[in-house]
Structure 1
Amino acid sequence: MEQDNPTHVVLLSSPGLGHLIPTIELAKRFVLRQNFKATVLAVTSQTSTVETHILRSSLCRVIEIPSSAIFHQNDRTVTRLCVMMREAKPAIRNILSKITPRPSAFIVDIFSTESIPIAKELNILTYVYVASHAWLTSLLIYSPVLDVQIQGEYVDQEEPLKIPGCDPVRPEDVVHPMLDRTDREYKEYLTTGRGIPLSDGVLINTWEELQHKTLQALGEGGLLSQALNMKIPVYAVGPLVRDPELETSDSTPLLLTWLDEQPSESVAYLSFGSGGTMSSEQMRELAWGLELSERRFVWVVRAPMDKAADAAFFTTGSSKGDEVEKYLPEGFVSRTLGLGLLVQEWAQQIHILGHGSIGGFVSHCGWGSTLESVTNGVPLVAWPLYAE
């Protein structure tokens, strides 16, 4: 590749750290390993201080597209994401048509598939980057078929949902947008699934040894691809996780100093994703469990929300000082002083999981957290909340 004319890749991310971080990590790989030029278009919610920090500290060129989308009060997260990305299309079109050097490829996340035609019109190759795993990808792109085949709610079915070439999905295990077929979120989810095969290829943050069967079904000539008449390549590009050497945080040195003082594999790390929230009762019970266990811990805490488990999705890192302490059992902080640490809202997780004193990870098991735990060899205790 000529140094003075590098391949230029443009990546599009929807709001939320679970989408933004994997997109930036993929962009970094293009820059550091392939010597490509990479530009990230980030549609932002403008409500998260951590989101702002990550955008400002990226090694790649980042163009922010602030969202001014208006929602109905009952709109769920997937609906909001799809609306935000849909309303950003004029700005995306304007940037893509003017950006230099001319992009060789345009890579969108799963909530941005409606932007694929824009790149097609500009004669730019388009790819979908699935920051999750291959099984979810299979369910997502096959959902429009299931929508026609199955009557009634999926959770009421007596038999597992069958996906050609893949493990079946138990009705009770379907993703959140499939729980209520009358909700707008379900319709937005189907639109996303229909959009993926319109691309020139799919990138999935997994690897062959982990999900060989599903990747084979998704690949060209696989049973699922044949069933959908999908004739595009599918690439396993993972595991893509953050590089600790490239991550910094004001709170990290103090936290790591405390971890350095703890015995090997003696600390439980608890975090429930970039936007996960517990109910008040769950938070109190977890606090009592930690205290009574008398085990060392690092707990990433945020204010509880009894209405929705993903209530902090658009506001990560926005709590103030001691706001969370009032939701914990009285005296919990003083009684566990020295035994554990509370970290407000968000932590540099890759630093923590890579530390030798961490012996286990209590997680909602989002794919990013799962990958970081697996690649660091840290055992997981699963507490599903949302998007796991």
Structure 2
Amino acid sequence: METSKSKPHAVIVSSPGVGRLVCDLELGNRLVTDHSFQVTFFVVLDCQATAGESQLIQSAEAQKLLHIVVLPPVDLSGQVEPSTPIFTRLASLMREIRPTLRSAFSALKPTPSALVVDILGTPALEVAEEFHMLKYVFVTSAWPLASMLYAPILDKEVEGEYVDQKEPIRLPGCMSVLPEDLADPMLNRTKPEYNSFLQVALEMRKSDGVLVNTWEDLDAATLTAMREEESYGSAPVYAVGPLIRVAGPAASRSKLLDWLDEQPVESVLYISFGSLGVLSAQQITELAWGLELSRQKFMWVLRPPTPSKKKDDASADRSRGDENALDHLPDGFLERTHSLGLVVTQWAPQSEILGHRSTGGFLSHCGWNSSLESILSGVPMIAWPLYAEQKMNATKLAEEVGVAVRPKIAPTKGVVGREEIEILVRKVMAEPEGKAMRARVKELKISGEKALTPGGSSFNAVSQLAKQMHQSEASAVSH
């Protein structure tokens, strides 16, 4: 494939997972449309593409902005068990894909000037080094990035398990973090995923830069600390967001939007826990009663509960059918709440729902993609973190940014009762605190949109990257 000498050529390698694929594709699209990059996009799959991944790939191919290559799946059956935690499994997958990447890079003429990987793709950075390419890591949110870059320091300073520490964990530039709110791989230092996590942190520190899906106004203190504190290492940090999937024209308009059209402005609470989020049967019951008691309008994307007791296996049953999801609601719930809300057991167009004038709140798992979608739609949140970095995101959104409320008991530690759910829902949807959060989130929406426009902080950060790549290409030519 021939490349234009006037355009910096970047390769993006996306590891398996809908959330990472969404972010990586949006980064690629921005590089092409706003900064005249040429982007070759390699998709790595875990055995085979899920329906969500396939849909994203097809949509991206239809836009014809990126040259997309889906790499052959790697068989890990002889190396990892089905029960192996996702972080360790995908880190192994990204190590095993390196020979394939090496061959793929060799076929690109001239050699691209830079490689961008997501947080699980750091094993590929050594391949970029072989080809004398600049190497960058693209990460979702700033606090989890800070915890990862700082992990080698904590590993030496903290004795015993993090969860046994009596005091909160201090990360420069962030609010102190409760030990149990650290990323899941850090919660048990005896497990292989802890070492995998540390390895990723060390590889990230050796990169030519870390791109993070935020903007200067949202994370000023954390970004400054990561750039100035020696303890975070020397890799430059670039805020390039907010990058979210923009809702495009659908083949057919969802009936859910028709229902929203009939509701008053900012009156509906949207409830969704992401593609992997599941609640226990008891928690589904309590949430249903809390919604009914609140008497607020709602749209709830409901999935069947998982019988798994392991956090790392919480997504194992996500492929089960949804035919029994409604069976877990209290008797008569649908009839009693018929005038208030909808319970949805199929896919829902989240971007369009959050952007609808009738949506006034979002009960969310606090995945960063969903959090940014909510902010850029001007919608405050009820933070309900379930796994991975969501707990840190929830703390930031509720306690630092002031655009979310959260339960007193962490959903990962126990069942949140109906009375508290009623209070949280009414607080966001009907009380002065919710009104104040709505005003704050709308300010952030304007700030985030401005960051991406020419002259904005994130636009300028990517322009800086383009300049580096041009200089790298010029240096390679002169040698």
**Which of 68, 75, 82 lines up with 2:75 in the alignment?**
68
Report the counterpart of residue 395 of structure 2 in structure 1. Answer: none
Q: Compared with structure 1, are the counterparts of its residues 163 and 320 closer, same or farther at alpha carbon in structure 2 (3 Å cutoff)?
A: closer
Per-residue CA deviation, residues 137-195 of structure 1 (Å, 9 max, x unaligned), is 11101112211221110011122323345443332322211111111111111111111
1:48 corresponding residue in structure 2: 50
After superposing the two structures, state which structure 1 stretch, 153-162 or 58-67, moved more. 58-67
Contact 2:153 2:231 in 1 (8 A): no
CA RMSD of superposed structures (Å): 2.3
Equivalent residues in 2 for 1:73-222, closer than 5 Å: 73-100=82-109, 102-131=111-140, 133-219=141-227, 222=228
Question: TM-score normalized by structure 1?
Answer: 0.90
**TM superposition shift of 1:87:** 1.9
- Specify the SS of the correspondent of 1:93: helix
CA shift for structure 1 position 287: 2.2
Determine the C-alpha separation between the residues in 1 that align with 2:132 and 2:316: 33
> CA contact under 8 A between 2:150 and 2:231: conserved in structure 1?
no
SS of corresponding position for 2:188: coil
Equivalent residue of 1:57, what SS?
A: helix
- The verdict on how the C-alpha distance between 1:266 and 1:88 changes in structure 2, with shifts beyond 3 A counting, is same
**Contact 2:173/2:223, CA 8 A, preserved across alignment:** no
Name the CA distance, whole Å, in 1 between partners of 2:345 and 2:221: 40
Decide which of 233, 237, 242 is 1:234's aligned counterpart.
237
Q: CA deviation at 1:311?
A: 4.5
2:59 maps to a residue whose letter is S
After superposition, the Cα gap between the structure-2 partners of 1:288 and 1:385, relative to the gap in structure 1 and judged at 3 Å, is same
TM score, norm. by length of structure 2: 0.74
Aligned to 2:359: 358
Q: What amino acid is aligned across from residue 109 of structure 1 in structure 2? A: D
When residues 9 and 312 of structure 1 are mapped into structure 2, their CA distance, relative to the original with a 3 A threshold, is farther
Matched, 1:36 2:40: no
Pair 1:385-2:394 in alignment = no
What count of residue pairs does the alignment treat as equivalent? 378
Shift of 1:203: 0.5
Q: Deviations over 1:305-350 (max 9, x none)?
A: 142456565786x443524223333444454445322333543211
Runs (5+) with no aligned partner, structure 1? none
> Is 1:16–1:314's contact at 8 Å kept on the other side of the alignment?
no
C-alpha separation in 2, matches of 1:115 and 1:345: 36
Q: Distance in 2 between matches of 1:86 and 1:360?
A: 41
Q: Deviations over 1:263-302 (max 9, x none)?
A: 1111110011221111121122222322343432111222
**Distance verdict in 2 for CA 1:238–1:166, change over 3 Å:** same
Q: State the secondary structure of the residue aligned to 2:129.
A: helix
Structure-1 separation of matches of 2:168 and 2:54: 42
Work out the CA distance in 2 between the residues paired with 1:248 and 1:295: 29
1:42-72 alpha-carbon deviations (Å, 9 max, x no partner)? 2123252111111111133322232432332
Greater helix share, structure number: 2
* 1:69-104 deviations in Å (ceiling 9; x for gaps): 233243212112212222222222221221355322
Q: How does 1:323-338 map to 2 (within 5 A)?
A: 323-337=324-338
Q: What is aligned with 1:274?
A: 275
- Classify 1:273/1:93 alpha carbon distance in 2 versus 1 (closer, same or farther; 3 Å): same
Q: Is the 8 A contact 1:353 1:376 kept in 2?
A: yes
